[in-house]
A and B are shown apart, each in its own frame.
Chain A
Amino acid sequence: MNNSTLKRFCIGLLAWVIAFVIFFPIFWMVLTGFKTEADAVADPTLIFSPTLDSYAEVQQRADYFKFAWNSAAVSLGSTLLALIIAIPSAYSMSFLPTKRTKATLLWMLSTKMLPPVGVLMPIYLIFRDVGLLDTVTGLIIVYTLMNLPIVVWMLYTFFKDLPKDILEAGRMDGASTLQEVVYLLLPLTLPGIASTGLLSVILSWNEAFWSLNLTSSQAAPLTAYIASFSSPEGLFWAKLSAASTMAIAPILVFGWLTQKQMVRGLTFGAVK
């Protein structure tokens, strides 16, 4: 083994050890989901007889698919709505900027920094009065507004990267604004729009504060489902682990598959 092969081996080993340490809590959680409650609290071990009991019990206690369906409906619905609202706005900001554009963008971002608790009371009261409490629609509205600033920002940077000449050429050929957006802008920036959407889906899927406070039985997504296992009664680790695994599995796989796409969105396209 020569020196550089040895060096490469050491680098690889170090990287793998770190990767495993960081991934360990997730690995451990998935593993615990297949244990009996007695095994779950015993000394840590990799040797045990796997069982699906916890999964069965969790499913018996609450219908996983109903929560998963709510999560999916709310994430996809709010993402779609946010994109529809944000696209015209980002279009005008990047192609027809005014003196106020930058201030508007910063102001939008600042709305993301308000702690939701600061406005929970009013939103709760309004939702109660118009009958939006515990509805998928209500949650879609909140998540749309929650993600809107980030979605606008991302689309803005993606649109700005587009060579102006292309849209210019379309305009010369007599395309209307709508045609320009639909036939030129959207197809050309599709990767950017996709990565923006992916991030919005993930943020909505994982959001816990609003879902816990605005839903109860009908519209509760998976975050609320997990919370029902965090009570003292939920301290059955195997069941907690099984439920957690089911809650994160779809979005984790989704994240793995789309990570390359997503980075562009996460960095507002600023990092290539």
Chain B
Amino acid sequence: MTKPRAAGRTVGGLRPLALQAPAVTLLLMWMLVPLGMTLWFSLQRYNLLMPGMTGFAGLENYEYLFTDPALWSAMGTTLLMVGWILVITVVGGTLLAVLFQQEFFGRGIARVLVISPFFVMPTVSALVWKNMMMHPANGVLAWLAELFGMQPVDWFSSLPLTSVVTIVAWEWLPFALLILLTAMQSLDEDQVEAARMDGAGPFSIFFFITLPHLKRAISVVIMIEMIFLLTIFAEIFVTTSGGPGLATTNLAYLIYLQALLDFDVGMASAGGVVAIILANIVAIFLVRMVAKNLEE
């Protein structure tokens, strides 16, 4: 019944296309116009500091880029950051979801508190962590360390990547928790009860019932976080500016350094093209994998 009707409404596939046209056209323009310009710039000698130096550069910019150790370091940093944050937020979020699912006094308020960091703008959370938490002299963490008779840690110079990962994980852990907590609510209590009757301990219940139940929700968390974490910028900009050295420079920040600090439009555009290609590789492999999981 549905088929001929649907076909009747599409008029040779025209109707769905017409309905999708605004969104698709706009996104295509949003992607292709800058992409085209970026591609063009990437083949030019174009440095705002050297107006005399112009003209077609061929693949020169790419050559510099690929022989520059900074690119490989930035790619490594990007992957490390995304990887660590995903591990922390997914594992932590799952454990916290189990905890916050229990009945206890003031659960509603406790939940509201624990998910709050997700609503704080990244620039603010970075500033608060940098100045008031991780400051080596006056920060709360330094004060705590001294209280316990330990040497305060100079977070951003001795553990730069750890510091950035901590801040970003703090922002996204509540997100994972929020999603997983919601997923927990549809967990079949009878099934858990039955398993308990059969003598299953809390660990077997967690690994054989809770975790499989959360599979779909975890896929969602990984997919959404990946989309946002690949382009982390504000937190790095505010805290370490990519340093010390290149320790916290991810791909997004590397392009920024070249574009806005070195004024090298050509090089920055080449970096942009590489980033775009990488983003699409991730989209094709990882997101497709996760999306398939969602379709079941």
Contacts and interface: CB of A to CB of B under 8 A. Distances in A.
Contacts of B159: none
Contacts of A58: none
B31 interface: yes
Of the listed residues A29, A118, A209, A254, the one surrounded by the most CB atoms of chain B closer than 10 A to its CB is A118
A89 B20 contact: yes
A93 B110 CA distance: 40
Interface size class of A (residues with CB under 8 A): 35 or more
A110 B279 CA distance: 7
A110 B280 contact: yes
B220 interface: yes
B235 to A, nearest CB: 10
Interface string A145-181: 1001100100000000000100010010000010000
A28 B286 CA distance: 38
A118 B206 CA distance: 43
Nearest to A171: B5
A126 B55 CA distance: 21
A208 B37 CA distance: 23
Given A43-B143, A115-B252, A89 B227 contact: no
B220 A116 contact: no
A209 B234 contact: yes
Contacts of B10: 96
Given A113-B226, A117-B272, A206-B119, 18 more contacts: A12-B106, A15-B102, A18-B96, A88-B20, A92-B19, A93-B20, A97-B16, A109-B283, A114-B31, A122-B33, A148-B23, A206-B120, A241-B128, A256-B116, A256-B119, A266-B178, A267-B179, A271-B186
Interface of B: 2, 5-6, 9-10, 13, 15-17, 19-20, 22-24, 26-27, 30-31, 33-35, 37-38, 41, 96, 99-100, 102-107, 110-125, 127-129, 131-133, 138, 140, 143, 170, 173-175, 178-179, 182-183, 186, 216-217, 220, 224, 226-227, 230-231, 233-234, 238, 251-253, 255-256, 259, 265, 268-269, 271-273, 275-276, 279-280, 282-284, 287-288, 291, 294
Interface of A: 8, 11-12, 14-16, 18-20, 22-26, 28-29, 32, 41-44, 85-86, 88-89, 91-93, 95-98, 102, 104-123, 125-126, 145, 148-149, 152, 164, 168, 171, 177, 202, 205-206, 208-209, 222-223, 226-227, 229-230, 235, 237, 240-241, 244, 247-248, 251-252, 254-256, 259, 262-263, 266-268, 270-272
